[in-house]
Amino acid sequence: MTRAELVEQIRLKKSFLCIGLDPDLDKMPNAVMNAEDPIFEFNKAIIDATHDLCVAYKPNTAFYEAKGLSGMQSLVKTIDYLNENYPNHFTIADAKRGDIGNTSRMYAKAFLTEWAFDSITVAPYMGSDSVSPFLTEGPGKWAIVLALTSNHGASDFQKKSTGNQLLFEEVLNTSSSWGTPENMMFVVGATQADALREVRALVPDHFLLVPGVGAQGGSLEEVAENGCNDDVGLLVNSSRGILYASNGADFAEKAREEAKKLALSMAKYC
């Protein structure tokens, strides 16, 4: 999906909602547990119930890798289902890869070509040669670079001074030159809303993937007011707050209700 296509979907749906597909068997409803592939059946039900309310889906690959081969098969079935049935959605492999160039090239081929995700989250710690392979898989393929995250340990490194700036600022300034707003986004946690205005000043045209709204306590209003640009420029992710709104047979219906609340709150910014 190109940038223009993504912006078009945001305008059309009046939503910049991204739904994280993080299936946890300990939290999933009994209604799907007897299925041949509970993870896929859960994902399919969530997607069918919410596709008109969001513009992106983000499977976190750890939830699939933890189940071994069967989990990875569920992941592939999920992305295939999205690409075949809802191709106007931006897909994100939340895999946080990043290694020496040759290894990153294999990760890029796996997620962006073989499994046909639109994008993948990337850790920039090893520098440009670890990120650049994710930027060469063709038009409409994206690297989403970790910049300022929402976890408790984010300040251990990301807000350390490197002299004239903080480390996350240096990451933004340096890595933004490796790609363009057409093939690179940045991850900025919703709980870092106070820094979003500064982030936006450093990368005015790039899309930002913003996790942490909902269960992690981030404020959608603060994120939108500090992070929007002329194209909206945001993908705000919610996972647990939508997926596990109910653990009963009505789980998909309740997930839709939660997704709709967020989408309606986003409309005024679109």
Instruction: Let me know if 268 is a catalytic residue.
Output: no
Whole-angstrom distance, CA of residue 98 vs CA of residue 127: 9
Distances (CA, A) of 15 to 58, 262, 264, 268: 15, 8, 8, 9
What b/e readout covers 35-68, taking b as 16+ CB neighbours within 10 angstroms? eebbbbbbbbbbbebbbebbbbbbbbbebbeebe
What's the distance, Cα to Cα, between the start and end of the chain in Å?
19
Residue 126 Cα distances to 65, 150, 175, angstroms? 23, 21, 11
Give the containing element (helix H, strand E) for 117: none
Q: Which candidate in 67, 77, 96, 159 is catalytic? A: 96
Residues counted in the chain: 270
Two tokens, residue 86: 């809802």
DSSP conformational letter for 114: I
206: nearest Cα among 137, 264, 119, 110: 119
Active site residues: 96
